[in-house]
Amino acid sequence: MSPTQSPQGKGRGRNLSITDYNVYDDAKTYYTTEDRHHNHRAGARTRTYSQNSLFKQFERLGLQKEPYRRGSHDESTIPHSRRFLIQVEPTLQSLQSQEDTDGNMQITIEDNGPKVLSLRTAASNGYNRFDIRGTYMLSNLLQELSLAKEYGRKQIILDEARLNENPVNRLSRLIRDHFWEGLTRRIDASSIEIAARDPKDWTDDPRPRIYIPRGAPEQHAYYTKVAEDRPELRLDVIYLPEKITPEIVRDMNAKPGLLAVDMEEIVDPETGEKTLRGRPFVVPGGRFNELYGWDSYMESLGLLVNDKVDLAKSMVQNFCFCIKHYGKILNATRSYYLCRSQPPFLTDMALRVYDKIKHEPGALDFLRQSLLAAIKEYYSVWTAEPRLDPVTGLSRYRPEGLGVPPETEAGHFIHILEPYAKKHNMTFDEFVHAYNHGDIKEPTLDDYFMHDRAVRESGHDTTYRFEGICADLATIDLNSLLFKYETDIARTIRNVFHDKFEVPDDWLATNNPGASKLETSAMWDRRAKRRKLAIDKYLWNEQAGMYFDYNTAKREQCNYESATTFWALWAGVSNPKQAAVMVTKALPKLEAFGGLLSGTEESRGEIGLERPNRQWDYPYGWAPQQILAWTGLYRYGFNEEAERLAYKWLFMITKAFVDFNGVVVEKYDVTRPIDPHRVDAEYGNQGLDFKGVAKEGFGWVNASYIYGLQIVNAHMRRALGTLTPYDTFMKAVEDNRNKTLSELV
């Protein structure tokens, strides 16, 4: 946008007043629009004349007429909001030295500065000053100055409205205009140098490396040319074998690499030649460059609310590519994840996108491809060995694999492996190599790592709910998701594809005899009914009023109380009576100050030095658990409960955002009212490590915020903007209701 053009495209050919710009433009637009940062009031100060001046005396004597008196510089005469004339670097240094008393490049409630800074007003050409007060406005000032500096500005005219903006509006705007962009990646020549480097490559010669499936020769040619044109990258381009086995994946660990995802054909604007471009996707956090499994579904919910439909669609297309070429939606697109999936959400994700694009050309083909991928994944992954339990008919997280998970640091399992190394009189490295390659047999270790891989596939890594037993569990979360697959596929085949859906040979699941070339809704309806009966028989507990996991090895129901019980509501597994019992019995156990707990304190058990906390246990809350519970409660008509849980979660995020310099993190301690982003668990908390201004937030928390604002009502949204705790808000609502009733009497 040129300086002589308004943001709406009006006023071409004229100089704009600064009032023509949107105060809440994204940072790039705000700080790169030159005209808005030129002080149009600048210039030599002219003389003003007091009513008691010498000139007034002359006038009374008839000797002199006083010139017209100019208006004051005071802001009260200006019809628009206050603006500040700021020299960026000096003000930033002054702000940090005075207010950032702990030196972490953030201004929070824990800093001990005076919490007031005087800024020069633009309307007075810097002559008058106005005090900026409080943690929120000062931290916003730090963020805005950090952005201005990043965009190369020496001087800015800053709207006060960006400093005292309603925090709900500010966070929503940052997510829409900044965070999604900061988390968006695409894999092609523009990014391969960074993306193909693996921070978990512990080998002696870490280098960029990408693996290409045999069914994508055009990608192999593309990346081979990139490697030839840019030899300094040392890019290693390797074809994957036709058949992927645990042995092959183990041997690939000596050369870990990125896995190719979907690309589209485009015309290079510079050369006019056809080339490939990677389809974009959103990563969980800023340190990632690969496509992740269930994070992507949660992120898509926020993307769709923010009208970023093409990005959500692109993520579905990337998943279809993964299923077609790798057999599954992977934990993430790195070579060591080839045997491991993640919680399956593809049908709901694809149907939500289709609902937004069904009027567009190619929409039906998009849905067809998505359905083909989901059906193949269902047959080849979730209802095949080793994940299917043939006795119950339920499914488990139970990925294949050999040896020690390679993506962990060398010392991650040292406490587990060292005793075995001593037992065999070997060094640690010698034992790991011998064990991984089957030279040494240790069945106990085999079981340990089988369960460890299953925990990672579940997405709930780590929790005492799964420790040492995960691969044997038919979980309520996985089987709810598969019930949703079955009902989604049945409904879509019936309503969209006229109850006949043909599966081409290249989409057939060859490892499952249940796969069919012609799918009908009746087949999938029967599967859903069978699964619901099995869930009711093995996982539902009427007395406790919730669903539990079932141990397929011990043939008994577990007793860990988990928020995943509400996934049954999201999927539509429960009958109305079961839903009501869950709201009565399960919800009070799992509800806390900031929303839903992952599990109860009783189920987690005592923790200490020998038994540290796990991040998917009490007292932590995670965005996916909140989102699925809200949606499920709404599905069964428990609107007040859904709104209450959403309000608590949104309040906690907003309060931390206001008090701690705009922080948005991976997970929260939902029992801590003051600093819930402080998490004392083994993997810490992603999203804390930023200087000055947060650029990404965290993927599924961003989504939960945007999605949650669709759940709460308008009164609640206004109360969130004033940081009103839930109990205070409800008391005000009740008092207002009582007052209204008393006036009617």
Q: Which residues carry out catalysis?
A: 461, 666
The one-character DSSP state at 108 is B
Please choose, from the candidates 125, 120, 114, 113, the residue with its C-alpha nearest in 3D space to the C-alpha of residue 91.
120
φ and ψ at 515, to 5 degrees? -65, 140
φ and ψ at 417, to 5 degrees? -90, -30
Which tokens in the block code for residue 38? 């030129």
Handedness of CA 263, 265, 268, 269 (dihedral sign): negative
Handedness of CA 148, 151, 155, 156 (dihedral sign): negative
The one-character DSSP state at 314 is H
Residue 316, amino acid: V
Residue 118, beta-bridge partner list: 131
Q: How many helices (H) and strands (E) does the chain have?
A: 26, 22
- Rounded CA-CA distance 669/675 in Å is 8
The answer to whether residues 649 and 626 touch, using CB atoms and an 8 Å cutoff, is yes
Place of tokens 């409960």: 641
The answer to whether residues 161 and 25 touch, using CB atoms and an 8 Å cutoff, is no
Q: Where are the beta strands (DSSP E) in 458-573?
A: 473-474, 501-502, 518-519, 540-541, 546-547, 550-551, 556-557
Residue 308's contacts (CB-CB under 8 Å, 6 or more residues apart) are 180
Residue 288, beta-bridge partner list: none
Question: Strand, helix or coil at 660?
Answer: strand
- Rounded CA-CA distance 297/310 in Å is 14
- Rounded CA-CA distance 239/249 in Å is 13
Which tokens in the block code for residue 48? 């003003």
